Structures are given as structure tokens and as C-alpha cells.
């Protein structure tokens, strides 16, 4: 397995450390990358095929699950208080430049862009992203707690702070719960995500620890087809050896430069 190129990007994108160019070239020769998004971008762009024919998959990750089904059944009031507090806090935050850069990239690539996020907030939507799935659910949605009930999740920004305030399902009478994938539950939209991992030619992974499954395995799945795999985040992930490049930096600082460079 090739070791990834690891670099710091404190000044934004692209990285300018010319000392790593030799290594980059060797990786390029061996792995045959189709897209370069580091300091060698200009050099390699000449031999890259038309960007318009590429399909991108982006795994945007961070935690957000917070609980498990047993905890909800044992004490739904406590669980709803936790998520109500998170709903309240979510209303006070805004998209950062990283969110906006990804929305801009989506506008440029259109149907060739796909965003899979573990985040449960709506910051990507607020920034303008449309082609995305929330594999761990959405904080601002509620659904029935009965697994066999087919009531669809619905938008809901209300806070439920007491047992009496928790609403019940109009169809089956069970308590409503946050539309969040809790520990022990299967993440959402996995078929769609696996399909995108199968067809993408560039996988950009942002801010994950590389430990939590199934997201930690996405890079290995994508690389079956020699997908170019790039990681961006403040710390080296546990699965860094599977990436072609690991760029150390905050997404909000690195991604805008990356997108600007890609759009040329």
C-alpha cells in the first residue's frame, strides 16, 4: 500500500511546498490519478482528461448520532431534551466558507457531484447544496419511533422538553422521535451511497476520524476502481494509508481555495 502524501495547508489551497512534488509525481505515475488537487495541479492538469467527464463523490463526516434506541424507549423525555437543546443551538449557527465552497462545486459539476454527510445539521442546505444525503439523519426532522410504521420523516424545529410535550404518531400512536440514526441502527441511503462510491472517480473526504464505520470504509470501497482519494481535515485520520493525499487543515480554510483552483 502506498503511503499518502501528508501536508499542512495553513495558508489555504493550493499547498505551495515544492519539496513534495517529487513524491507527488511518483504517486501519479504509480496510481495514475486523473485529478490533481494539490500543489502539482497545474502540472498534472495538462495530462488529465476532461474534467466534465468525472464524477465526484464527497464524504463529509463528523459525529451526530448521540444516542441509541434503548435509551429512547427507557427515557424519551431525556433524549428529546438532548436533541431539543441541539435544535436550539443549530438555529444560531451559519454555514462556513467550506459549506459554501462545496455548494459552489456542486453548481459547477451538477449531476456529477454527490455529497454524503454524517452531519445532522442543515448547514449544507443553507449554503445551497442540493445533491446530498444525510446518512445519519437530520436534526430538524422527526419521525415515528415504531420501526414498522411507514410515516415519512417530516420537517420539525419544535422543542420537546417534557414527557407530555412529546407528540405521538397520528397513524399508529407510538411516540415520535428525532430522525437521527442512533448507534446500532443502519445509516440511511446506503444503497445510493454505495452506488456513488462505485462510479466516482474522485473521492474527497472531509474531517472524519477514519474510525467510525461504515464511513471509514468508503475510501477502500471507492479505491477498488482506482478512484483518486483525498482527505482534508485538521488531523491525520486513522485510515490515512488508504488515501492518495492527506491535507492537514480546516475544511473552511482549505476547501474554498481547492474549489477556486478546480474552477480555474
Residues found near Zn ion in the complex (CB under 5 A): 144, 146, 149, 151, 169, 171-172, 174
Q: Whose Cβ is closer to Zn ion: residue 44's or residue 174's?
A: 174
Q: Whose Cβ is closer to Zn ion: residue 40's or residue 144's?
A: 144
- Helix, strand or coil, per DSSP, at residue 256: helix
Q: Which residues, including other chains, have CB under 8 Å from residue 147's CB and lie 6 or more apart? A: none
What minimum distance in Å lies between the beta carbon of 81 and Zn ion?
Answer: 22
- Helix, strand or coil, per DSSP, at residue 246: strand
Does 134 qualify as catalytic in the annotation? no
- How far is 221 from 213, CA to CA, in rounded Å? 12
Q: Whose Cβ is closer to Zn ion: residue 17's or residue 155's?
A: 155
Q: Are the C-beta atoms of 193 and 203 separated by less than 8 Å?
A: no
Task: Single out the catalytic residue among 134, 136, 150, 179.
Answer: 136
Q: Whose Cβ is closer to Zn ion: residue 146's or residue 260's?
A: 146
- How far is 176 from 145, CA to CA, in rounded Å? 5
CB hemisphere CA count around 245 (13 angstroms): 31
What minimum distance in Å lies between the beta carbon of 174 and Zn ion?
Answer: 5
How many helical (H) and strand (E) elements, i.e. helices and strands, does the chain have? 9, 10
- Residue 215 pairs in a beta bridge with none
What minimum distance in Å lies between the beta carbon of 172 and Zn ion?
Answer: 3
Q: Whose Cβ is closer to Zn ion: residue 166's or residue 174's?
A: 174
- DSSP 8-state assignment for residue 89: H
Angle, nearest 10°, between helix axes 97-109 and 251-263? Answer: 30
- Residue 231 pairs in a beta bridge with 205, 246
What minimum distance in Å lies between the beta carbon of 156 and Zn ion?
Answer: 14
Handedness of CA 32, 34, 39, 41 (dihedral sign): positive
Cα–Cα nearest to 258, from 58, 17, 28, 41: 41
What minimum distance in Å lies between the beta carbon of 134 and Zn ion?
Answer: 21
Which residues are the active-site residues? 136
Amino acid at each position: 500500500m502506498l503511503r499518502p502524501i501528508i501536508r499542512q495547508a495553513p495558508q489555504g489551497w493550493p499547498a505551495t511546498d515544492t519539496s513534495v512534488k517529487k513524491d507527488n509525481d511518483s504517486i501519479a505515475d504509480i496510481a495514475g490519478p486523473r485529478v490533481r488537487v494539490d500543489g502539482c495541479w497545474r502540472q498534472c492538469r495538462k495530462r488529465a482528461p476532461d474534467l466534465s467527464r468525472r464524477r465526484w463523490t464527497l464524504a463529509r463526516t463528523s459525529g451526530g448520532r448521540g444516542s441509541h434506541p434503548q435509551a429512547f424507549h427507557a427515557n424519551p423525555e431525556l433524549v428529546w431534551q438532548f436533541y431539543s437543546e441541539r435544535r436550539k443551538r443549530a438555529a444560531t449557527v451559519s454555514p462556513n466558507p467550506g459549506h459554501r465552497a462545496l455548494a459552489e462545486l456542486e453548481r459547477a459539476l451538477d449531476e456529477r457531484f454527490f455529497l454524503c454527510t454524517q452531519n445532522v445539521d442543515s448547514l449544507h442546505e443553507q449554503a445551497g447544496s442540493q445533491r446530498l444525503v444525510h446518512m445519519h439523519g437530520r436534526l430538524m426532522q422527526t419521525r415515528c419511533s415504531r420501526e414498522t410504521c411507514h410515516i415519512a420523516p417530516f420537517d420539525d424545529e419544535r422543542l420537546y422538553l417534557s414527557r407530555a410535550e412529546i407528540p405521538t404518531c397520528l397513524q399508529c400512536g407510538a411516540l415520535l422521535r428525532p430522525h437521527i440514526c442512533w448507534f446500532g441502527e443502519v445509516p440511511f441511503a446506503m444503497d445510493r451511497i454505495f452506488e456513488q462510491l462505485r462510479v466516482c472517480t474522485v473521492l474527497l473526504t472531509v474531517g472524519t476520524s477514519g474510525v467510525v464505520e461504515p464511513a471509514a470504509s468508503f475510501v477502500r470501497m471507492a479505491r477498488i476502481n482506482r478512484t483518486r482519494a483525498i482527505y482534508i481535515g485538521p488531523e491525520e485520520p486513522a485510515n490515512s494509508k488508504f488515501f492518495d493525499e492527506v491535507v492537514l487543515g480546516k475544511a473552511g480554510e482549505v476547501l474554498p481555495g481547492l474549489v477556486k483552483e478546480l474552477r480555474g
